[in-house]
Amino acid sequence: MGRRIQRASNYLLGEQKPMRIRTSQFLLAAMLMLACIGVLYFMRMVGIQGMGDVDAWALVCIAGLVVFYVLIRSGFSLRMADPSLAFLQMLFAIACNAAAFIVAGHGLGVTLPILSVVLMFGMFGLSMRQVVLVAVYALVLFGAAAAYTLRYVSTDESPELFLAYFFILFIVLSATTFLTWRLQQMSAHMRKQKNQLVEALDQIQIIATRDELTGLVNRRFMLEKMREEVQRAQRSSSPLLLAMLDIDHFKRINDKYGHQVGDRALQVFSAVVQNNLRANDTLARWGGEEFVALLTGTDVSVGQICLERVRAKVADIEVPVGDDCVKMTVSIGVTPYRNGEAIEKALQRADAALYDAKARGRNQIVCTPAAEYL
Ligand SMILES: Nc1nc2c(ncn2[C@@H]2O[C@H](COP(=O)(O)OP(=O)(O)OP(=O)(O)O)[C@@H](O)[C@H]2O)c(=O)[nH]1
């Protein structure tokens, strides 16, 4: 049973989501029109005077609905700028409504509230230009319908009453045009706020994960990344290498050249190290002049070659300061991650290796002895 309903619904509305949205929106509008047709038949049934050919009017309305449904459901409307045909549907609905004004005889007053509902539909789907066009179009059609009714249909209504209808029509059209304008202003404002929010979130994300001076990821991000990489390494049994890097005698650079030059030196150092690691290795500023590198899928022997290249490149750095230039070296402590251990443990070993590198005279790499991690 459920499957049969599903099949019928797919047949009626389509299977793809955009098509289902279009067809269900159309069916909602179509149901509104059918209800209006029902009202006119009701008026004829209760004997409202002066009514025209309701059958012919209803036939044209229903034929129009069928044509719209076929155009949308067959996918033909996809060739148009607006596949939901909202603007054309509005024009058609207003034309039917204006014709109802003529057909409804003494009951012609019912058509104006219906027009308001039709216009409300347009407020959400049409552009401002289209809404203005619809308003002018409705004014012209209803004006023509009123003139025709006054001249050819005997309704016993005074011309003054028609004038009042016309004023009401003008008020309804002006109000919907104004409301559409406000609605579009509000939605533009909301879109702008949403974009600003997305930008602010991006900015917060950068602030929360990056070091402002060097642009490298910060300690918090690196710890997160390490935990992810540890899990991945355990799943794939691929080696993971951790290196702690510290610029030698950095205090002297600050003392001799000043903090600003020290900052510039940190930036150049970060860029040089980053450029000499592989793209999927991660370098973080751990704090001050201390950095941590995480080398994925790398064992000690390969890692040492790679870090030796980094050490040599750092020793080549020259940051110009006036006639002088800043030179620097780096000490590096390396350790492999041992499966199952806490990442903090591996970091402690890397730190101890770095301490050794400093103690042995700096500008060198020390790897934690195998015995300490086996
Ligand atoms: N310019 C600058 N200096 C910083 C920054 N962060 C830390 N420092 C400086 O880095 C220096 C670190 O000095 P120390 O910890 O004594 O180490 P070091 O002089 O590098 O000596 P070793 O590490 O033993 O080779 C201090 O003078 C800090 O002020 C920063 O963001 N910018």
> What does the DSSP assignment read for 223-276?
HHHHHHHHHHHHHHT--EEEEEEEETTHHHHHHHH-HHHHHHHHHHHHHHHHHT
**Which atom of ligand 1 lies nearest, measured to the CA of 331?**
25
Is the Cβ atom of 288 under 6 angstroms away from ligand 1? yes
| Tens of pLDDT, residues 287-306 | 999 999 999 999 999 999 99
Where does the pLDDT of residue 370 fall: very low under 50, low under 70, confident under 90, or very high at 90 and above? very low
Q: Which two tokens stand for residue 306?
A: 């790679």
Does ligand 1 have an atom closer than 6 angstroms to the CB of 263?
yes
- Shortest-distance Cα residue to atom 29 of ligand 1: 251
Q: Does ligand 1 lie within 6 Å of residue 248's CB atom?
A: yes
Task: Enter the pTM of the model.
Answer: 0.63
Alpha-carbon torsion angle 136, 138, 143, 148, nearest 10: 140
C-alpha dist (Å) from residue 44 to 58, 94, 109, 198: 12, 21, 14, 57
Q: Which residues does residue 337 pair with via DSSP β-bridges, in sequence order?
A: none
Two tokens at 226? 């390490």
Is 289 annotated in the active site?
yes
* SS3 label, residue 282: strand
Question: How many Å apart are CA 366 and CA 358, to the nearest integer?
Answer: 9
Q: Can you tell me the distance from the alpha carbon of 100 to that of 333, in angstroms, rounded to the nearest whole number?
A: 88
**Looking at ligand 1, which residue's alpha carbon is closest to its atom 3?**
262
Q: Is the Cβ atom of 266 under 6 angstroms away from ligand 1?
A: yes
Per the CB < 8 A criterion, the answer to whether 103 and 40 are in contact is yes
Å from CA of 241 to ligand 1 middle: 25
Verify whether ligand 1 is closer than 6 Å to residue 287 (CB atom).
Answer: no
How many CB atoms are located within 10 Å of the residue 274 CB? 18
Check: CB of residue 187 under 8 Å from CB of residue 126.
Answer: no
Q: How many CA atoms lie within 13 A of 8 on its CB side?
A: 5
CA 255 to ligand 1: nearest atom: 27
- Domains along the chain? 2-201 (no CATH), 219-373 (3.30.70.270)
pLDDT tens-place string over residues 304-360: 999 999 999 999 999 999 999 999 999 999 999 988 899 999 999 999 999 999 999
Q: How far is CA 272 from CA 154, 214, 297, 333, in A?
A: 92, 11, 22, 18
Bridging pattern class, strands 324-326 and 319-321:
antiparallel
In degrees, rounded to 5, the angle at the alpha carbon of residue 149 between the alpha carbons of residues 146 and 155 is: 120
Say which of 199, 212, 229, 289 is annotated catalytic.
289
Lowest mean pLDDT among 4-8, 135-139, 150-154, 163-167: 150-154
Closest CA to 374 of 292, 308, 300: 300
Contact 287, 227 (CB under 8 A): no
Task: State in Å: Cα 259 to ligand 1 middle.
Answer: 10
Distance between Cα 288 and ligand 1 center (Å): 6
Which residue's C-alpha comes closest to atom 4 of ligand 1?
A: 288
Q: Ligand 1: which of 251, 268, 326 to mutate, judged by most atoms within 8 Å of the beta carbon? A: 251
Q: How close is the Cα of 204 to the center of ligand 1, in Å?
A: 27
Least reliable range by pLDDT among 10-14, 64-68, 189-193: 10-14
Q: What is the C-alpha R_g of the chain?
A: 38
- Start-to-end Cα distance in the chain: 65
Phi, psi at 337, each rounded to 5° = -80, 130
Band (pLDDT 50/70/90 cuts) for residue 51 is confident
- Residues 203-232: pLDDT tens digits? 999 999 999 999 999 999 999 999 999 999
Cα–Cα distances in angstroms (integers) from residue 313 to residues 31, 159, 191, 251, 337, in the given order: 75, 95, 48, 21, 25
Which are the contacts of 37, defined by CB distance < 8 A and separation ≥ 6?
Answer: 58, 61, 62
- 269-294: average pLDDT: 96
CA of 212 to the centre of ligand 1 (A): 17
Name which residue sits closest to atom 18 of ligand 1, judged by CA: 249
The response to whether residue 333 sits with its C-beta less than 6 Å from ligand 1 reads no
